[in-house]
Each structure stands twice: as C-alpha cells, then as structure tokens.
Amino acid sequence: MLTAGQVLQLIRDRTCRTRKELIEVTGLSRSTVTDRVDRLIEAGYIHESGVATSRGGRPPSVLDIDATSRLALVADLGASHARVALTDLAARPMAEEHIEMRIARGPEAVLTWVRQAFRRLLDRTGRPAGQVCGIGLNLPGSVDHASGRMIRSFLMPGWDDHPISEALRAEFEVPVLVENDANAMALGEWWSSWRGCASLVLVKVSTGIGTGIVLDGRVYRGVEEAAGNLGHVRLSESDDRVCTCGSRGCVASLASGHAIATDLGRDTSRDVVRLVHSGDPAAIARVQEGGRTLGVVLATAVSLLNPGVLVLAGDMAETGEHYLTGIRESVYRRSLPYTTRNLDIVTSSLGDRAGIVGTAVIVMEHVLSPRAVDAALAARSGAVT
C-alpha cells in the first residue's frame, strides 16, 4: 500500500493530477486516497489549483505541489565568490546576495558570513525561519554526503574534514546537504534546460576544472565521491607546470583559467575573460588552446558516457565561443561520429546562478522524498496527538 509520501511523488511527476487518477493508477480505495491527500494538504505539501476537464459529473480538483509553503536556504561557494539565496521548493529564488570572497579565508570566516547572509535574506523577505525546511551548500571539492564534511580540495586550505553541516545546523535545525560545486551546477543546468536529456556532462573551468555528471536526473558521484575529476588527468608527464594537486602535466595545470592567466602574465581567470573581451589576440589564441587541451579528455568522457549534452560553465564560458570552439575541435576530431551525432556542446544557460539552482533542487528532492515526507507527517501526527 502506497504511503502519503509515495502518493506525493505521483503528483510531483504529474503521473496523477486528481484524486480519481490516484485511485485508478494506484488501486487504492477512495477512502485511503482521501486520507493520503487530506494529510498532504493539511501539512502544506499540496494544494488544489483549479479543476480538470470533467468526463461526466462534477469537474475534479487538480492537485499540485505547494512550492511556497516551505523554503530552502542555499549557498554557492567558489574559489573567489560566495552567493546565497532563499528559494521555494520549485528551486525559484526569492532573494539573493553575492559577494567577492576567497574561500581560502577558511571555514570559520566563510560560514559565519553564510549564516549572517541567510538571516538577512529571511529578514528582507519577511519570511520566518520556521518555514525553512532544508539548507544546501556547494563547494569546490569532494564531499562526504553522509557526514557533510569536505573530503579533499586543492583550493580550500583548512576545510578538509571541517564539520560544515554541524556549523549551519547549530543555527537552523533542518537537514543540511553539502555538494560539490560542479555537481550542483550540472543538476541546475539539467533542471532548467535539459530535463528531457538522459545524460548530461558539465565542465566548470574557472580557477580550476571540475566536472559534474547527471544520469537519468541524478548526480553520479562515484564510489569515492570522485567522479568527474577530469582536471587531474595527466596529459604530459614531462611538463614542468605543477598542478594544485602536486602532480605535473594535469589538465588543470594546462587548461584551467588559472593556468591560462599565468601564461598570459595575469592573476586570475577573470583577467583572462577581460582580455578576450577586449580582443587581445594572444589571450584568444591561448584560450582556444586551453579548450583543445581539455577537449582531449572530454572526448574520452563522451565516448564513455555518450551524453546528450556537454555544458561549459565557469569563467571560461564567458569567453564567448573561443574556449568552446577549442573543446568542439578536439571532441569531434577524437570521438566516433555516432557518439557525437546527437551531442549538443553548449555554454551554461544559467551562468553564475547554476550552482544556486542546482543546490536548491538537491534540497527540494531531499525534503520532498517519500521517506522525508512520511517522517514529517508522522512527527506532525504525533505532535497533534
């Protein structure tokens, strides 16, 4: 017998839009469906949003998710920026705040700002903290999802094994979900533009290189939470440039925004973007070379995963077609034609908001999962009793 949480999933994915459809699809009795639906309405998970076409008799009420009764607080943290947002449970931002801040300042300073910014967002929108049902945070490194701690990051000294979830849960007593930034961005792009695509690969090229993989609507993380670590694939054992991981000849040491900036005598990947926008020929040539270098590794990913879309995100996505052109050259030249026949190679549609949207989707999927919904309804029933 389906639980209320499982009934909610049928409504979420639009398999069933009315009580009558729920009875027909699930085989549950009318009284059981009524009980499940009434509990979900009373708890604010769904509401009636109009009527469906009648097939005789009174038109049935349409059931839909009530995305505004519960809220999520999410943070997108990069090597040199921090962005926070208050969203509803359709991953729609209601308020945002952004600041230039280096994550190398350490977890205490950065997470203190995040907590304060979360409070400012609630105050600005006039929404009570009690409506927040989950918090999400993404970071440029590998994370342990069970503990909410950073496993490893070459860009974040002092963050390894820091209790990130505990630091945020101390002020907001809700689930805290921690994710890798490229994974969150990949999910955000899939959710906003490519939900009809079974396989999506996103590569973020900014200070470093990170890759997110979405298969059948779910982030693929790998056994050791290290899937998508393309930036540290070694292409040249003899290259003198040392990567942030300590090895030589990694893709990131050759094709990342930091590597390109260093070769051009600049400090950051943002400097590279400005040079390209000004038409600097040396910068344009070096950016295209970086794209070709990364494309060598991405060609293998395309052959392995056969994705429907390959998304370029991060600072290098802002160089127009230049970095992307380099990627396309290598991918098309090194991959079998039938693996690229239906492949879209594009820049991010969300830009610097992909991480926020993807992290909000992660929170949404967690708090609206059958297990979480059934647990919340049980706790609610016990409180009422």
* Per-residue pLDDT tens digits for 135-175: 999 998 888 888 888 887 777 888 988 889 999 988 888 99
pLDDT value at position 170? Answer: 85
Quick check: 244 and 208 in contact, CB under 8 A?
yes
Q: Is the pLDDT of residue 44 over 70?
A: yes
Q: How large a percentage of the chain has pLDDT more than 90?
A: 76
Q: Is the pLDDT of residue 380 over 60?
A: yes
User: pLDDT tens digits, residue range 285-295?
Assistant: 999 999 999 99
Question: What is the token pair recorded at 256?
Answer: 């990342």
pLDDT value at position 63? Answer: 94
Burial pattern 42-77, b for ≥16 Cβ within 10 A else e, equals ebebbbeeeeeeeeeeeebbbbebbbeebbbbbbbb
Single pTM value for the model: 0.92
Q: Residue 21 — very low, low, confident or very high, per pLDDT cuts 50/70/90?
A: very high
More confident residue, 54 or 292: 292
Q: Residue 79 — very low, low, confident or very high, per pLDDT cuts 50/70/90?
A: confident
User: pLDDT tens digits, residue range 225-242?
Assistant: 788 888 888 887 767 777
Nearest Cα residue to 252 out of 316, 346, 180, 157: 316
The mean predicted confidence, pLDDT, of the chain is: 92
> Coil, helix or strand for 151?
strand
Q: Is the pLDDT of residue 124 over 60?
A: yes
Q: Is the pLDDT of residue 281 over 70?
A: yes
pLDDT value at position 239? Answer: 74
Q: How many CB atoms lie within 10 A of CB 285?
A: 12
pLDDT value at position 366? Answer: 96
Q: Is 37 left (phi over 0), alpha (psi -120 to 50) or beta?
A: alpha
pLDDT value at position 229? Answer: 86
pLDDT value at position 55? Answer: 67
pLDDT value at position 385? Answer: 38
Question: What is the token pair recorded at 108?
Answer: 């205490």
User: pLDDT tens digits, residue range 164-211?
Assistant: 999 998 888 899 999 999 999 999 999 999 999 999 999 999 989 999
> Coil, helix or strand for 71?
strand
Q: Residue 57 — very low, low, confident or very high, per pLDDT cuts 50/70/90?
A: low
Question: What is the token pair recorded at 302?
Answer: 């395309």
For the sheet containing 71-77, what is the strand order?
A: 93-100, 81-88, 71-77, 132-139, 176-180
Burial pattern 118-144, b for ≥16 Cβ within 10 A else e, equals beebbeeeebeeebbbbbbbbbbbbbb
Q: What does the DSSP 8-state code read for residue 160?
A: B
pLDDT value at position 361? Answer: 97
Question: What's the gap between Cα 90 and its chain centre?
Answer: 14
pLDDT value at position 247? Answer: 80
Q: Helix (H) and strand (E) counts for the chain?
A: 14, 14
Poorest-pLDDT segment among 55-64, 284-293, 327-336? 55-64
